[in-house]
Amino acid sequence: MQTLNTVSRRAFLKSASSFSLPLFSIEFQTPRFITNREIEVTRHSVGLRNLPPAFDGFRVVHLSDIHHSKYVSFNAVYRMVALANRQRADLVFLTGDYVTWSKKYITPMAEALRDLKARHGVFGVLGNHDTRVDGDAVTRALRKVGIQVLRNASARVDYRGQSLWLSGVDEYSYGQSDVAKALHGLPSTAPRILLAHNPEIIALATEYQVDFVAAGHTHGGQVKLPGLKSLNSITQPNQEFLEGFVSAGRTQMYISRGLGKVVVPLRIKCPAEIPVYTLRSSSARIGL
């Protein structure tokens, strides 16, 4: 696990935010030998202070950056859903970028996600691409298939007489994240779990004493060629924060490498990822 103290937070934030801009646009057939079609399922324990005992052991499956587009086919999205379903989720978190540039992918993307299985619900937030394409249309499509979209809002999950709150923010890079509003109404002792597309949210999340953030956006770099900066680190060097655990103050955050591709139809040395978290009633921090 890394901490924000290990590198400049500002440098990290610049690094992550730089990825939202297309660096160039090239269309070509993906050479099979360098396309990583594998999805790595990674497993983590997340210790949460004051987690109600009923939720101890809850399994959360996290999908991010699906990017249904000409680079990520419907069948590819459906394979993601099938693999997610094999994890037997209690909860599914979706942290945005369901589509990339075109509205025409919104409905099929939602139809594929309709089949996601989670015993206690599927919850999502929007990413920068969704916001740019049409955030309201993406929201409507997801809600139509039963997904709870948390737009600076919270939802309560009840189980065995106890409750867990899940909060979500709109996209940081558009200035639309309102953490205070997202957390509004939570009991003071409840664990604060935040879904956010952009890991830049960590500064605000720390300020609002969020316990755990599930984030994406960076694609983990997506393309990592030996001796070169990763695709999303071309302008900024701090790759420590492109993926995995980060902590700051009380806040622990996991940045998924995500599932899809943007800018180029490739992932190189950076496999797609489905993180699976097991929630634990514990004052301990994240364990692997």
| Binding interface with Fe ion (CB under 5 A) | 65, 97
* CA-only gyration radius of the chain, Å: 17
Q: Which residue lies nearer to Fe ion by CB, 97 or 170?
A: 97
CB of 259 to Fe ion, least distance (A): 9
List of residues 6+ apart from 39 with CB closer than 8 A: 79, 80, 83, 259, 271, 272, 273, 274
CB of 128 to Fe ion, least distance (A): 7
CB of 160 to Fe ion, least distance (A): 36
Q: How far is Cα of residue 281 from the mean position of the Cα atoms in its chain? A: 22
Residue 31 is classified by DSSP as: P
CB of 20 to Fe ion, least distance (A): 8
Beta strand 193-195 with 212-215 is: parallel
Q: Which residue lies nearer to Fe ion by CB, 65 or 171?
A: 65
Beta bridge partners of 89: 118
CB of 118 to Fe ion, least distance (A): 22
Q: Which residue lies nearer to Fe ion by CB, 98 or 277?
A: 98
Q: Would you state the structure tokens that stand for residue 173, as one six-digit string? A: 């890079």
Q: Which residue lies nearer to Fe ion by CB, 65 or 243?
A: 65
Asked if residue 156 lies in contact with residue 183, where contact means CB atoms within 8 angstroms, the answer is no
Residue at token pair 């919104």: 106
CB of 55 to Fe ion, least distance (A): 29
Q: Which residue lies nearer to Fe ion by CB, 95 or 251?
A: 95
Q: Which residue lies nearer to Fe ion by CB, 97 or 171?
A: 97
26 exposed, middle or buried (CB, 10 Å; 0-12, 13-18, 19+)?
Answer: exposed
Q: Would you state the structure tokens that stand for residue 157, as one six-digit string? A: 């999950």
Asked if residue 171 lies in contact with residue 127, where contact means CB atoms within 8 angstroms, the answer is yes
